């Protein structure tokens, strides 16, 4: 696409992710007009704080992955921009589903389960968008260096793991929401370690590589 | 303008567009204190979710077009900055008109039609600002490469299509708001495909071009 | 300051200004639960829309001036960062004083006048911060090219004009708030034209200059 | 980490810090529907304005320090990104603890003290994250130039001072909240002067150094 540079796609995505991660705090509010003492209010709304922390790191890790993926890209095309908008849609929607999750975990029942499904669905959209981005990058030859077929397919498969993980985590949430939040936190830890989207892919930007030994 | 660089205009615009697209989510709110179950609340406020999705992609496509247009620019002057502020005004106002649209589609009647007009008017301001930006870029010779007269005029005409589209879409919205939302979504698809603001314009930044064949 | 680059100061300032200009929209809200029809609600809250528009361009012009000023800078020191924080403080506070202005213009009386003073005071802080930034840039020799003494003093004097303009505009606001809003809009137009902070200062970045003839 | 560049870590952090510092203003709200005149409302909510000002400069100084620290970095690894997320978590949470502090300073008693502790705890997290970042930078050899052992340890010790300062400031807040706010403001002044995270560390970016004499 004439004039489309990777830099501005990264800058815009950084902006959206930074705003979304910071807006999460708007869901935390306590006031002297509320019911009971400050300590009581904090204690009774633990799902709000737990969801805040988990979603903060979920979005933080989305940024880390976005950063790593686009670091491999030499040029962008319009389909990549569309898949990136899908990813950003999941990011901007997370503060809403987080708020609904926190509110309805306290309610429980059918509404609690629906809130768990909504939260999982937006995470699933995120995993789907990431898989589409990586797979399109490889197929449309947008990378700095072409990737051997088998290796590319392996990368997409490994990266697309989330597509199966989030539905499972959602089912766990039907039984125990706290366990589900712990699992989301663990998924986050997994992705922080999953540092190389395409194994063996050399680093084109040079100034930021770990030494390979 | 001494010291004015294209880079900071893009960075500021990226920031405004990123904040606006993320603020849309503040219009989605459901709480256990609301009327009825979670499923009922979501169902009864479908215009809110439909407007959220449509406006998300409207703003997303504004960013794509902004990116493509400014990719052609070699230098900026103060009139360009003013037209860019007009464009950003339409972007920052969209979360408001989207919220009004979502609320009054449920009310209908004269108020519903006024909400449709407000939403259309801000989109019209956006189309106008884009047309002014492109036309000024060509006339004031701000591009990397000068454009032949006829070609420039054709580009402005093609790009300014929105000036006629939005009033028509608004009239449709008087009859059927849901059809109007679908038309807005289709306009978005059209602009995502409309990737070359000036036909035949070579890409000056080089590192991000599709091969021309 | 070791490691301090102009680029990040600009990026951070762009971010703050972009968020502040976009947050203004949060002050516009109309809902079917409000008093009267949509048209009536819009009409009865005209000060909100007028203040929104004026403040949008006030902040937009702050960005244009910030951009032009920092374009002259070769290096930053900690005092410059502190003055820049003062400037950003005025920017982040403007959405609040704008909201107070819009609400109390309808109330009028002593409260209306106090709201006018608050709005003027934050604009005065902005003008003061700009004058401090420019004067420090010249004195501490942070520019790309040293400026002759007389010329530097003339630039500070011309740029510091706002220090006298805002109190006068505030006094006008005691008599007629609408005239005051028009005057703020005109100040904005003046600063958009005031494109060269230091007359005769050559442009160091090269890629964005207007030809000098 | 392949493809991880310092630039995007800075851009994302700039975004988060810029949004957080601007969101503080959402805690300031006065309306004609409130109790008493505008002057009375402002006077009776002085803790809100004092906390707004202090936290504005607390976050401003976090940005200055972040800027100075990352200016020393040549490459990033995933642990650095994780510590940076911890730092950003403290930044995004500050608007919440600031709001709680402002509300409960007026209430006083046990709730007032708890609000003081919450505010201090988030500042402590910030100091901890900064100490982890600096210490990891030195140990993992991420700097432009390796640092002699003793010098590195001295830098971490000096930089980690906040770890002891914030608990002390919190204890002062039990006795006198206004004195505590003054102390936070003074800490800010200290850190603005603390311009060289690692003494004797040469500046690698060159274009922004003060002459060393």
User: pLDDT by residue (tens digit) across C161-188?
Assistant: 778 889 999 999 999 988 999 999 888 8
pLDDT of D117 higher than 90: yes
Distance in angstroms (rounded) separating the CA atoms of residues B152 and B198: 7
Contacts of D195 in chain C (CB under 8 A): 1-2, 78
| Percent of chain A as helix, strand, coil, to the nearest 5 | 75, 0, 25
Residue ranges of chain A whose CB lies within 8 Å of a chain C CB: 15, 18-19
Q: Are D144 and D74 in contact (CB under 8 A)?
A: yes
pLDDT of A212 higher than 70: no
Question: Mind listing the pLDDT tens digit for each residue in B9-45?
Answer: 999 999 999 999 999 999 898 888 888 888 898 888 8
Contact partners for chain C, using 3 or more CB pairs closer than 8 A, are A, B, D
C55-69, C81-95, C139-153, D166-180: which range is least confident on average?
C139-153
Instruction: Give residue C77's pLDDT band: very low, low, confident or very high (50, 70, 90).
Output: confident
Residues C83-93 have a mean pLDDT of: 96
Q: Are D24 and C92 in contact (CB under 8 A)?
A: yes
Residues C190-195 have a mean pLDDT of: 68
Nearest to A5 among B60, B201, B208 (CB): B208
Contacts of D110 in chain A (CB under 8 A): 37-39
At residue C145, the pLDDT reads 79
Residue ranges of chain C whose CB lies within 8 Å of a chain D CB: 1-6, 8-9, 11-12, 14-16, 18-20, 23, 26, 74-78, 81-82, 85, 88-89, 92-93, 95-96, 99-100, 103-104, 106-107, 110-111, 114-115
Kindly report the backbone phi and psi dihedral angles of residue C143, in degrees, each rounded to the nearest multiple of 5, phi listed first: -85, 165
Q: Are D174 and D118 in contact (CB under 8 A)?
A: no
Residues A69-96 have a mean pLDDT of: 91
Chain B residue with CA closest to A78: the answer is B192
Instruction: Give residue C55's pLDDT band: very low, low, confident or very high (50, 70, 90).
Output: very high
At residue C97, the pLDDT reads 93
Residue ranges of chain A whose CB lies within 8 Å of a chain B CB: 1-6, 8-9, 11-12, 14-16, 18-20, 23, 26, 74-78, 81-82, 85, 88-89, 92-93, 95-96, 99-100, 103-104, 106-107, 110-111, 114-115
Nearest to C1 among D29, D32, D68 (CB): D68
Q: Which has the higher per-residue pLDDT, B193 or D32?
A: D32
Q: Is A47 helix (H, G, I), strand (E, B) or coil?
A: helix
Contact partners for chain A, using 3 or more CB pairs closer than 8 A, are B, C, D
Q: Which has the higher per-residue pLDDT, B153 or B54?
A: B54
Residues B113-137 have a mean pLDDT of: 93
Residues C71-77 have a mean pLDDT of: 87
Distance in angstroms (rounded) separating the CA atoms of residues C29 and C36: 14
pLDDT of A22 higher than 60: yes
**Rounded to a whole number, what is the distance in angstroms from the first to the last CA of chain B?**
38
- As beta bridge partners, residue C73 has C143
Distance in angstroms (rounded) separating the CA atoms of residues A80 and D110: 54
Residue D144 burial (CB count, 10 A): 15
Residues B186-202 have a mean pLDDT of: 65
Please state, for a pLDDT cut of 90, what percent of chain A lies above it.
41
At residue A207, the pLDDT reads 37
At residue C202, the pLDDT reads 44
| ipTM attached to this prediction | 0.86
CA dist list (Å): A165 to A65, A195, B60, C9, D137: 17, 18, 29, 41, 34
Min Cα distance D213 → chain A (Å) is 31
At residue A148, the pLDDT reads 79
CA angle D111/D115/D121 to nearest 5° reads: 140
Q: Which has the higher per-residue pLDDT, B147 or B131?
A: B131
Min Cα distance C15 → chain A (Å) is 8
Chain B interface, mutation test: which of C9, C27, C28, C38, most B Cβ atoms within 10 Å? C38
DSSP H/E element including D34? none
Min Cα distance A41 → chain B (Å) is 17
Kindly report the backbone phi and psi dihedral angles of residue B209, in degrees, each rounded to the nearest multiple of 5, phi listed first: -85, 145
Distance in angstroms (rounded) separating the CA atoms of residues D106 and D91: 24
Chain B interface, mutation test: which of C25, C34, C37, C62, most B Cβ atoms within 10 Å? C25
Q: Which has the higher per-residue pLDDT, A35 or A22?
A: A22
Question: Mind listing the pLDDT tens digit for each residue in D143-197?
Answer: 887 777 787 888 788 777 778 889 999 999 999 988 999 999 888 887 777 655 5
Chain A residue with CA closest to B201: the answer is A2
Residues B199-212 have a mean pLDDT of: 41
pLDDT of C70 higher than 50: yes
At residue D71, the pLDDT reads 85
At residue C209, the pLDDT reads 33
At residue A198, the pLDDT reads 61
Angle in degrees, 0-180, between the axes of helices C46-70 and B6-23, rounded to the nearest 10 = 150
Q: Is C73 helix (H, G, I), strand (E, B) or coil?
A: strand
DSSP string for A4-34: --HHHHHHHHHHHHHHHHHHGGGG----TTS
At residue C98, the pLDDT reads 93
Chain A interface, mutation test: which of C7, C15, C16, C20, most A Cβ atoms within 10 Å? C15
Chain B residue with CA closest to D14: the answer is B15
Min Cα distance B85 → chain D (Å) is 20
Where in chain D are the domains?
A: 6-28+46-193
At residue B97, the pLDDT reads 93
- Count, in order, helices (H) and strands (E) of chain B: 8, 0
Average pLDDT over all residues of chain D? 84
B84-88, B167-171, C205-209, D82-86: which range is least confident on average?
C205-209
Nearest to B4 among C18, C57, C67 (CB): C67
Contacts of D20 in chain A (CB under 8 A): 22, 25
Contacts of A19 in chain C (CB under 8 A): 19
Distance in angstroms (rounded) separating the CA atoms of residues A140 and A135: 8
Distance in angstroms (rounded) separating the CA atoms of residues A138 and A156: 9
Chain B interface, mutation test: which of A5, A6, A8, most B Cβ atoms within 10 Å? A8
Contacts of A74 in chain B (CB under 8 A): 207
Residues B97-107 have a mean pLDDT of: 89
At residue D210, the pLDDT reads 36
Output DSSP code: residue B211: P
Nearest to B196 among A2, A15, A114 (CB): A2
Kindly report the backbone phi and psi dihedral angles of residue D73, in degrees, each rounded to the nearest multiple of 5, phi listed first: -85, 135
Contacts of B75 in chain C (CB under 8 A): 207-210
Tally C-beta pairs within 8 A across B and C: 120
pLDDT of B206 higher than 50: no
pLDDT of C93 higher than 90: yes
Chain A residue with CA closest to B198: the answer is A2
At residue D4, the pLDDT reads 60
Average pLDDT over all residues of chain A? 84
Which span out of A183-192, B23-32, B188-197 was modeled with the highest average pLDDT?
A: B23-32
Q: Are B166 and B123 in contact (CB under 8 A)?
A: yes
Distance in angstroms (rounded) separating the CA atoms of residues C120 and C166: 6
Distance in angstroms (rounded) separating the CA atoms of residues D99 and D47: 10
Instruction: Give residue B4's pLDDT band: very low, low, confident or very high (50, 70, 90).
Output: low
pLDDT of D211 higher than 50: no
Distance in angstroms (rounded) separating the CA atoms of residues A10 and A65: 12
Q: Which has the higher per-residue pLDDT, A13 or D143?
A: A13
Chain B interface, mutation test: which of A11, A12, A95, A102, most B Cβ atoms within 10 Å? A12
Query: Sign of the CA dihedral A175, A176, A181, A186?
Result: negative
Min Cα distance A213 → chain B (Å) is 31
Instruction: Give residue B146's pLDDT band: very low, low, confident or very high (50, 70, 90).
Output: confident
Nearest to A2 among B32, B56, B201 (CB): B201
Question: Mind listing the pLDDT tens digit for each residue in A129-181?
Answer: 999 999 999 888 888 877 777 878 887 887 777 788 899 999 999 999 889 99
């Amino acid at each position: 696409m004439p004039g489309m540079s990777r830099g501005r796609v990264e800058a815009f995505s950084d902006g959206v992710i930074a705003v979304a991660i910071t807006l999460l705090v708007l869901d935390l509010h306590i006031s002297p007009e509320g019911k009971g003492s400050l300590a009581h209010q904090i204690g009774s709304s633990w799902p709000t704080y737990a969801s805040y922390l988990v979603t903060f790191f979920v979005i933080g890790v989305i940024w880390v992955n976005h950063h790593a993926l686009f670091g491999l890209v030499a040029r962008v095309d319009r389909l990549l921009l569309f898949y990136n908008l899908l990813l950003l849609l999941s990011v901007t929607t997370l503060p809403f589903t987080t708020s609904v999750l926190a509110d309805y975990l306290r309610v429980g029942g059918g509404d609690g389960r629906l809130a768990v499904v909504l939260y999982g669905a937006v995470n699933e959209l995120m995993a789907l968008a990431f898989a589409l981005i990586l797979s399109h990058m490889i197929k449309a030859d947008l990378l700095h260096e072409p990737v051997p077929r088998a290796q590319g397919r392996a990368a997409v498969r490994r990266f697309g793991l989330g597509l199966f993980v989030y539905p499972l985590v959602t089912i766990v949430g039907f039984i125990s929401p706290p366990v589900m939040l712990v699992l989301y936190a663990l998924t986050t830890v997994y992705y922080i370690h999953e540092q190389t989207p395409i194994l063996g892919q050399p680093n084109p930007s040079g100034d930021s590589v770990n030494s390979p030994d």
